[in-house]
Amino acid sequence: MNYPVHGAGLGLRRAFIRSLSDHSTDSVNFWEIAPENWIGVGGYFGKKLHELTEKHPFICHGLSLSIGGPTPLDQAFLQKLKKFLREHNIRYYSEHLSYCSDDGHLYDLMPIPFTEQAVRYVANRIKQVQEQLEQRIAIENVSYYVAPGQEMEEIDFLNAVLQEADCNLLLDVNNIYVNSVNHGYDAQAFLHRLPAERIAYIHIAGHYNEAEDLIIDTHGADVIAPVWQLLNNAYQHFGVIPTLLERDFNIPPLPELLKEITNIQAIQAQWQERNREYHKRQD
């Protein structure tokens, strides 16, 4: 896989954008934004975004494309998105394997039924998006709490969509962990069945424990040990992949987020060193 970015990244939030000049962010190798939050933005924030995208690698992670939705794709939005990606030299674009609209926005990511019919429907819409954007995109495995009309296992549905659409995967290790607890499956076994050649980059985040057997994917807390371990397992199985920290709520001061970025890089460095040692022994 020819990765669009490298190292460890951070989701850019307006909550800390003013403090960027007060702290060194040299440890952040790339940034991610939701294009819906920035398209058409002017003034201070628009100027700041232009300054940042001119200096640093950026990727976009969409919120409202509604790739599994019942209504036609929003052509006007796709045209604005295509222009935005080019205007800011965005390295890559990804979206959620879910839907969020039905004649209006639902303001949440809804689960797509795990069925063969849904595989064909969603894959066709992903192909349309890739054709209109004139680039390959990645689809993120999402957290879900119910599986209406389920005929397939989550892993089989995800792999079928990736294959049928011929798109890439945004691998969210926190979502695998959340779903493994909520739906009672082996997170590592799920991870190992993913196609390495399609993984574009990784998301890692925190969550909220509602109950012993119910986790809510909030992106509002620090990453916990089992999720760090799953990231470690991903590097062991697939090699080191660019990884981004998401934090959407309860956002701490920027230095606290940078500590988690440093932790990602430390794990990456460990596996890069192990890989170097391995290749030395093979020579």
Q: Does residue 187 fall inside a structural domain? A: yes
For 110-143, how does the pLDDT look when each residue is reduced to its tens digit (9 = 90+)?
678 899 999 999 999 999 999 999 999 999 999 8
pLDDT beyond 90 at 49:
yes
* 215 neighbors 182 (Cβ within 8 angstroms): yes
For 72-102, how does the pLDDT look when each residue is reduced to its tens digit (9 = 90+)?
899 999 999 999 999 999 999 999 998 664 4
pLDDT beyond 90 at 162:
yes
Please report which helix (H) or strand (E) contains residue 168, including its range.
strand 168-172
Pair of tokens at residue 114: 């795990």
Domain of 95 in residue numbering reads as 8-282
Q: Does residue 177 fall inside a structural domain? A: yes
Question: How far apart are alpha carbons 121 and 5 in whole angstroms?
Answer: 30
Pair of tokens at residue 254: 């920027």
Q: Does residue 164 fall inside a structural domain? A: yes
Q: What is the CATH number of the domain that holds 13?
A: 3.20.20.150
pTM above 0.85, yes or no: yes
Average pLDDT over residues 182-206: 96
Q: What pLDDT sits at residue 101? A: 41
Question: How far apart are alpha carbons 96 and 158 in whole angstroms?
Answer: 11
Q: What is the dihedral of CA 107, 113, 114, 118, to 10 degrees?
A: -100
List, in order, residues 6 or more apart from 38 with CB less than 8 Å away. 45, 46, 49, 84
Q: Does residue 181 fall inside a structural domain? A: yes
Q: Does residue 58 fall inside a structural domain? A: yes
Question: How far apart are alpha carbons 219 and 54 in whole angstroms?
Answer: 28
Work out the percent of the chain whose per-residue pLDDT is above 90.
72
DSSP one-letter string for 144-165:
-S--TT--S-HHHHHHHHHHHH
Q: Does residue 2 fall inside a structural domain? A: no
Q: Does residue 3 fall inside a structural domain? A: no
SS3 109: strand
Mean pLDDT over each residue of the chain, to the nearest integer? 91
* 60 neighbors 37 (Cβ within 8 angstroms): no
Average pLDDT over residues 203-208: 88
Q: What pLDDT sits at residue 148? A: 75
Q: What pLDDT sits at residue 107? A: 43
Q: What is the dihedral of CA 247, 252, 257, 263, to 10 degrees?
A: -100
| DSSP strand pairing (99-101 vs 105-110) | antiparallel
pLDDT classification of 19: cutoffs 50, 70, 90: confident
Question: How far apart are alpha carbons 72 and 95 in whole angstroms?
Answer: 16
In whole angstroms, how far apart are CA 11 and each of 16, 60, 99, 157, 227? 11, 9, 21, 28, 18
Task: Give me the number of domains the chain comprises.
Answer: 1
